[in-house]
Amino acid sequence: MTTTLITGGTVVSATGRSHADVLLDGDKIAAVLRPGSELLGTDLTASVDRVIDASGKYVIPGGIDAHTHMQLPFGGTAASDTFETGTRAAAWGGTTTIVDFAVQTYGERVEDGLAKWHELAAGNCAIDYGFHQIIGGVDDNSLAVMPKLVDEGITSFKMFMAYPGVFYSDDAKILKAMQVAADTGLLTMMHAENGPVIDVLAEQLIAAGKTDPYNHGLARVWQAEEEATHRAIMLGNITGAPLYIVHVSAKQAVEQLAIARDRGQNVFGETCPQYLYLSLEEQLGASSEEWGSFEGAKWVCSTPLRSRAEGHQDHMWRALRTNDLQMVSTDHCPFCMKGQKDLGLGDFRKIPNGIGSVEHRLDLMYQGVVTGEITLERWVELTSTTPARMFGMYGKKGVIQPGADGDVVIYDPNGHTSIGYDKTHHMNMDHSAWEGFEIDGHVDTVISKGKVIVDDNEYLGAKGDGAFIKRGLSQYLI
């Protein structure tokens, strides 16, 4: 088994930082040599296979992106990253674990949807992966199968209050599924937007000739997010099911979460880099020679980009500081402009929803450390430690400690990363939604289960390095 010693770096955890050396043995972390440690003072450099000098750099637990959609079927097409391309891009950006969404569509059995996802991912991933289960149709079969998911290491499931006719569940269905969740420890994840209301507003915009992409954002009003968030919280309250709201973008939805948490309810929220950095105004102003105002389709995602004038982005950063929001995931759901997004030329409702960001989450969030929005420790907590705890992987993932998987990222605060399609881009898309973003930091080395998979801008990993993770119950259940 290979042994690696990472020397001279600053090990950063969710709770602090210290100078320490990290010893990896095989696929695990064997020791963290910090002042007071028994092994400190022993010169291990001669006895290990490899020494990595991390002087002046941060040594952090590998990133965990708990919200990705590789190959998600959507609007007659499918997300353009396969498990192979998407997990490799994730690795490039310092993410060593993803949790993707297995899909049960209407009329399909949950077991069949899940089996399909296992088939898509098995043997293809660059990094470890787990699954949440999308319950697209709550019926007797899915309600009966849900408890069995726990034994298979799928300890969370998602429902949609949006997308009538596709993934949508009404309140009665949500209530029933939450009752099962409360009984079994499954964590309920919710796409909280009032879909029926949004669909009427969208139809009216189209009827008025308003077909450009940013109208997607005008139809998906913040009130529809606040209302659905509140309703989901109340259904959680009735059933006693803990609740995790995905991709929160409206400040009013955060307020609903904060009120519920203050009242002692077990509810959580995640936001995504696009809701911290990008805005509806920028989408409205977007234009290019190739696409004209259809350029804005690159940023069509749901929940939508929100108005900067209304202060949503500032509020998301604030909520990350105050712990009204607990995590940052990407909702990675990439589509090419040509042949995918352009299905919505002339009708924004037909633009497949999603942005590709799995490669850039750690960098984009580190820039928040540089600009003083969050601390270094909070960066690690939001992108690795809390995702591990929330989704039943902590100890194995999300922390640098003896016995944990050897998932370690060496991050250079003196490095630089220019994001752009022709610069650093490994996602399977024909554009970057993050073109021109400059990061005052750099993912130097990425180690997954003891193996160096990215080193100095070189990819050393292989398809099939990653394995399925059977997750335990969330640590946030009470």
Residues that bind ligand DUC (CB under 6 A): 69, 74, 191, 301-302, 331, 333, 353-354
Q: What residue type is assigned to position 341 of the chain?
A: K
Q: How far is the CB of 172 from ligand DUC (least distance, A)?
A: 21
Q: Is 415 in the site for Zn ion (CB under 5 A)?
A: yes
Report whether 334 contacts 85 (CB < 8 A): no
Residue 331 near Zn ion by CB under 5 A: yes
And the tokens for 381?
């907590």
Q: How far is the CB of 98 from ligand DUC (least distance, A)?
A: 15
What is the distance between the alpha carbons of residues 98 and 113, in angstroms, rounded to a whole number? 19
With contacts defined by CB under 5 A, name the span among 30-38, 220-228, 383-391, 435-443 that binds Zn ion: 435-443
Q: In the numeric block, which tokens belong to residue 187?
A: 């964590």
From the list 418, 423, 461, the residue with the least C-alpha distance to 62 is 461
Cβ distance to Zn ion smaller for residue 202 or 399 = 202
The residue among 220 and 389 lying less far from ligand DUC, judged by its C-beta, is 220
Nearest one of 28, 22, 57 to 456, comparing CA atoms: 57
Residue showing the smallest CB distance to ligand DUC in the complex? 301
Least distance between Zn ion and beta carbon 114 (Å): 17
Which DSSP string do the residues of 20-84 spell out, in sequence order? -EEEEETTEEEEEE-TT-TTTTS--TTTSSEEEE-TTSEEEEPEEEEEE-TT-EETTEE-S--HH
In the complex, least distance from residue 331 CB atom to Zn ion, rounded to whole angstroms: 4
Rg of the chain's alpha carbons, rounded to an integer?
Answer: 22
Smallest distance, Å, CB 456 to Zn ion?
A: 7
Nearest partner of 162 among 254, 253, 224, judged by Cα: 224
Task: Scan for tokens 């009708």, then name that residue.
Answer: 347
**Nearest alpha-carbon partner for 431 in 334, 289, 300, 294:** 334
Q: Does 220 bind Zn ion (CB under 5 A)?
A: no
What does 432 bind: ligand DUC, Zn ion, none (CB cut-off 5 to 8 Å by kind)?
Answer: none
Which of Zn ion, ligand DUC, none sits in contact with 442, Cβ below 5 to 8 A by type?
Zn ion
444 binds, among ligand DUC, Zn ion, none (CB under 5 to 8 A by kind): Zn ion
The minimum distance between CB 170 and ligand DUC, in angstroms, equals 17
Identify which of residues 10 and 330 has a Cβ nearer to ligand DUC in the complex: 330
- Whichever of 80 and 302 has its CB closer to ligand DUC, that residue is 302
From ligand DUC, Zn ion, none, interface partner of 396 (C-beta below 5 to 8 A by class) = none
Q: Which of 27, 152, 310, 412 binds Zn ion (CB under 5 A)?
A: 412
12 binds, among Zn ion, ligand DUC, none (CB under 5 to 8 A by kind): none
* Greatest distance between any 2 Cα atoms in the chain: 74
Q: What one-character DSSP code corresponds to residue 184?
A: H
Residue 229 vs 404, nearer CB to Zn ion: 229
358 touches 81 (CB < 8 A): yes
Q: Rounded to the nearest 5°, which phi and psi values hold at 53?
A: -85, 115
Q: Pattern 181-200, binding to Zn ion, x per CB under 5 A?
A: ----------x---------
442 binds Zn ion (CB under 5 A): yes
Cα 282 to chain centroid, rounded: 23
Residues that bind Zn ion (CB under 5 A): 191, 331, 412, 415, 442, 444
